[in-house]
Structure 1
Amino acid sequence: MVEPAEFRSYYGRPILKEPAWKQPDVPLYLFLGGAAGASASIAALADVTGRPELARAGRLVASGGSIASVAALIHDLGKPTRFLHMLRVLKPTSPLSVGSWILSPFSGLAAVAAASELSGILPGAGRLAGAAAGLLGPAMCTYTAVLLSDTATPSWHEAYGTLPILFAGSALTSGAGAALLLVPSVETGPVVRAGLIGAAAELAAARHAETGLGLASEPYRTGRAGKLLKAARALTAAGAGLSLVARRNRAAGAAAGVAYLAAGLCTRFGVYAAGVESARDPKYVVVPQRERLRR
C-alpha cells in the first residue's frame, strides 16, 4: 500500500501567506459592521411602521456598531491616515475599495441619525439620514463576505457563494439580538420574525460551508474554527427558541438577544479561523488544483 501523500511546499514554506489581518480586530470589524447594518435597516422599517422605541434602539446600535467597526479597522491598519488613503479613489473591481465607500457614508449617516435621536435637533434630517443608512444596511451586512471570498485563501474563496448568505443571516440575528435586549417586548414582534429568518439562513449556510465545499469544508468543522462554529449553531438555535416566548417573558427575550449576539461573534471568529487554517496547510491548495486539472 502506498503511504498517504504529504503535501509540502518548497523549503517548508507555506504556498500561501496567512491573512495578515490582526485578531481580534478584523473578526470584530466583521461582526460590528454586520450588526450595525442590520440594526440600521430595522430602525428604518420601525420608523415607517410607528415603533419609536425600536427605531431609537436601532439607530443607536447602528451608530455605535459602525463607529466601533471603523475603530477596529483603523487599529488593524495601524494609522488613521491609512484608512483615509483608502478613500482617495473608488475602484469598482476592488471589494476593499467598494467596502470602504460603503462603510464611510454609512457610519456618517448612522451617526447623524443617532445624534438627532438623542438631542432632538433636526428630527426630519435625522429620520432622512436613518432611512439612507437603512438602505445601505444590506450592503454593510454582506460586503465583508465578498471581501474575504475575493482572496486566495482556500476556505474563503471556495465559499464565495455561501459566505454572503452566512454573514447576512448572522447580521440579521445580531441586529435582532440587540433589539431584543434594548426594546420593550410590545414592539419586538417584527424583530422576532426577522431573527428567525436570519437564523434559518445562517444555519443553512453554515451547514453548506461545513459539508458542501469539498476539501475546503474541512477547516470549518475541525480545530478552533469547528468549535466556534459549533457553538455558533447552538447559540443561534437557542436564541431562536427563546425568542418565541420573548413577547410573554422579558427575561427570555433578553437571553435570546445575548445568544444571538454571542452566536454572531462565534461565527465571525470561526470563519476567520477556518481561513487562516486553510492557508497554513498546502493540501488545501494542491488537492483542489489537481482535482480541477483532472476535470
Structure 2
Amino acid sequence: MPRRRDEMVPDAEFRSYYGQPVIKPPIWHEPHMPTYLYLGGLSGAASTMAAVARLSGDRRLEFSSRLIAFAGGTAGAAFLVAELGRPERFLNMLRVFKTSSPMSVGSWTLAAQGGLTAVGAASAVTGVLPLVGDAASLASGVTGTLMATYTAVLLADTAVPIWHEGRRELPFLFAGSAMASAGGMAMLTTPRAQAGPARAATVLGAAVETAAGAIMERRLGMLSEPYHSGKAGRLMRASRVLTAGGGLLAAVAGRSRALTALSGLAVTAGALCTRFAVLEAGRVSAVDPKYTVVPQRERLDAGRPASVPGR
C-alpha cells in the first residue's frame, strides 16, 4: 500500500535562501537619490517655514525661506531627473494619479511644490504680483509638509526590511531632519537679529530627528544592525554627532556669526548623512536574507500575520 504524501515528505526547516537575497536590493544610485531625498525635504520644510513666517508677519525670514524652498526644489528635481536617466520618465509618472501609490502622490506633490515655490520666489525677488506670490507661498506650505515626509513613506512602502519595519518612525526622522536643515539654511541667509525662529526650528528639528532615530533603532531590534556597522553605521554615527552638535550650537549661537555658521553647516551635513545612511542600510538589509527570513519566522511563531507593504 503506497504511503501518503504527508508521510513521505518531512516538514521543511527553512533557515535561509541558500545564502542568496530573498528580495532584490534597491537600484537607486549615489549621490543622486540620497541628495534628492535631502533637497526635497529641505524644500518642503523651508516652504512650511515661509508660510508660517508670512502668517506671523516676519517678512525677512519669509523671503529667505522662499528662496531656499525654490533652490532646494529645483536642485532636487535635477538630481531626480539624473536618477531617472531621462526627463520624460518623470513626466510619464504624471499621466495618472493614484492615492494608493506613494510614488504617484509624491510625483504630483513634487510638481505642485516646484510650481508654487517658483511663483513665490519670483514674486519675492521682483515684487511683481505680490498677492499671487503670497498665495503661492501659503499653498506651498501645504505641499511642503508632504514633501518633507513623503519620501519616507515611499521607502517604507517597499519590501526592504529595515525600511518597511521602520515605517512608524521614518516620517518623523525625515521631517525632523528636513526641519533642522531648513532652519540651518535660514540661519545662514537671514540677519542674525531676525533669525530667532530659524534657530528654534533647527533646535526642534534636531531633537525630533535624534529622538525618532533612537526610537526606531530600539524598536527594530535585530533589524537595526545595519545602522550600527559598516558604511551605514559610520554615516549614521556621523549624522547623530553633526545633528545633535548643530542643534546645541543653534541653541546657544545667539548673535555669534561663527557659531551660527557652524550650526547651519553641521545640521546640513547631518541631514545628508542621514539620507545616505538610510539608503545604505536598506541595501544591506535587502542583500542579507536573514533580515527578511528571521522576522518572518518570528511573526509566524507568534501567530501574527505578515506585514505587507502597501496594506
Interval of TM-score (by shorter of Structure 1 and Structure 2): over 0.9
Give the AA of the match of 1:174.
S
Q: Identify the residue that residue 286 of structure 1 maps to in structure 2.
A: 293
Give the TM-score normalised by the residue count of structure 1: 0.95
Q: Identify the residue that residue 259 of structure 2 maps to in structure 1.
A: 252
Residues 1:104 and 2:108 aligned together: no
**Superposition map of 1:133-152 within 5 A:** 133-152=140-159
Could you tell me whether the CA contact under 8 Å between 2:183 and 2:199 is conserved in 1? Answer: yes
C-alpha separation in 2, matches of 1:245 and 1:200:
15
Q: How many residue pairs align between the two structures?
A: 290
C-alpha separation in 1, matches of 2:261 and 2:50:
19
- The answer for unaligned runs of 5 or more in structure 1 is none
Could you tell me whether the CA contact under 8 Å between 2:193 and 2:255 is conserved in 1? Answer: no
Residues 1:47 and 2:54 aligned together: yes
State the identity as a percent: 51
C-alpha separation in 2, matches of 1:124 and 1:157:
42
Alpha-carbon distance, 1:48 to partner:
2.2
Q: Which has the larger radius of gyration?
A: 2
Q: 2:243 aligns with which of 236, 241, 264?
A: 236
Alpha-carbon distance, 1:236 to partner:
1.0
C-alpha separation in 2, matches of 1:86 and 1:198:
31
**Superposition map of 1:107-256 within 5 A:** 107-256=114-263
Could you tell me whether the CA contact under 8 Å between 1:170 and 1:198 is conserved in 2? Answer: yes
Per the alignment, do residues 7 and 25 of structure 1 end up closer, same or farther by CA in structure 2, a change over 3 Å counting?
farther
Residues 1:32 and 2:42 aligned together: no
Could you tell me whether the CA contact under 8 Å between 1:146 and 1:163 is conserved in 2? Answer: yes
Could you tell me whether the CA contact under 8 Å between 1:46 and 1:52 is conserved in 2? Answer: yes
Give the AA of the match of 1:209.
M
Superposed CA RMSD: 1.5
Residues 1:71 and 2:61 aligned together: no
Give the TM-score normalised by the residue count of structure 2: 0.90
C-alpha separation in 2, matches of 1:176 and 1:13:
43
Q: Identify the residue that residue 9 of structure 1 maps to in structure 2.
A: 17
Alpha-carbon distance, 1:6 to partner:
11
C-alpha separation in 2, matches of 1:206 and 1:229:
9
Alpha-carbon distance, 1:44 to partner:
1.4
